Amino acid sequence: MDSAVRSGTTEPKPAGRSHEAQGRLLLGAYNVLLVPLRAAFAVYAPLARLRGASREELRGRLGHLPPLTGHPLWIQAASVGEAGIAALLAGALARERPGTHLLVTTTTRTGQAAARRALPEPAAIGFFPLDFRPAVRRALDAVRPSAIVLVETELWPNLLLEASAREIPVLVVNGRLSDRAYRRSRMAASLFARALSGVSCACVQTALDADRFVALGAPREKVHVTGNIKFAAGASARDAGSARSALGVGPEVELWVAGSTAEGEEEAALAAFRALPPDGIRRILVLAPRRPERWDAVAARLASCGMPWRRRSAAGAQAPTAAEDRHADGSAPEVVLLDTLGELASVYAAATAAFVGGTLVPLGGHNIIEPAASGVAPIFGPHVENVREVAARLVEAGAAFPVRDGEDLTRTFARLAADPGLRRRAGDKAREVVASQSGALEATLARIRPFLDARERARA
- Cβ pair 72, 103 in contact under 8 A: yes
Q: Can you give the pLDDT at residue 70? A: 83
Between 74 and 280, the more confident residue is: 74
| pLDDT one-digit tens code per residue, 172-231 | 999 999 898 999 999 888 998 989 988 999 999 999 999 999 999 999 999 999 999 988
Between 136 and 457, the more confident residue is: 136
Q: How far apart are CA 156 and CA 140, in angstroms?
A: 14
Q: Can you give the pLDDT at residue 1? A: 58
Q: Can you give the pLDDT at residue 448? A: 96
Q: How far apart are CA 418 and CA 303, in angstroms?
A: 29
Q: What integer is the mean pLDDT of 42-46?
A: 88
Q: How far apart are CA 87 and CA 93, in angstroms?
A: 10
- Other C-beta atoms within 10 Å of 428: how many? 12
Q: Can you give the pLDDT at residue 2? A: 65
Dihedral, CA of residue 211, residue 213, residue 218 and residue 221, to nearest 10 = -40
Q: Can you give the pLDDT at residue 446? A: 96
Which among 113, 118, 114, 86 is positioned nearest to 102, based on CA atoms?
86
- Cβ pair 256, 413 in contact under 8 A: yes
Q: Can you give the pLDDT at residue 265? A: 98
- Cβ pair 336, 108 in contact under 8 A: no
Q: What integer is the mean pLDDT of 231-259?
A: 85
- Cβ pair 88, 229 in contact under 8 A: yes
| pLDDT one-digit tens code per residue, 161-173 | 999 999 999 999 9
Confidence of residue 64 (pLDDT cuts 50, 70, 90): very high
Between 376 and 279, the more confident residue is: 376
| Domains of the chain by start residue, with CATH | 3-16+51-234+439-459 (3.40.50.11720), 240-436 (3.40.50.2000)
10 has a pLDDT exceeding 50: no
Dihedral, CA of residue 120, residue 123, residue 128 and residue 129, to nearest 10 = 180
Q: How far is CA 223 from CA 4, 199, 217, 364, in A?
A: 7, 9, 11, 24
For the chain, what is the mean pLDDT? 88
pTM of the predicted protein model: 0.83
Q: Can you give the pLDDT at residue 12? A: 46
Q: Can you give the pLDDT at residue 117? A: 85
Confidence of residue 329 (pLDDT cuts 50, 70, 90): very low
Q: Can you give the pLDDT at residue 326? A: 44
Confidence of residue 57 (pLDDT cuts 50, 70, 90): very high
Q: Can you give the pLDDT at residue 327? A: 43
Q: Can you give the pLDDT at residue 151? A: 96
Q: How far is CA 52 from CA 57, 109, 188, 296, 343, in A?
A: 10, 10, 35, 16, 22
Confidence of residue 235 (pLDDT cuts 50, 70, 90): low
Between 187 and 430, the more confident residue is: 430
| pLDDT one-digit tens code per residue, 402-426 | 999 999 999 999 999 999 999 999 9
Q: How far apart are CA 208 and CA 193, in angstroms?
A: 18
| pLDDT one-digit tens code per residue, 96-148 | 888 888 999 999 988 998 888 888 777 899 999 999 999 999 999 999 999 99
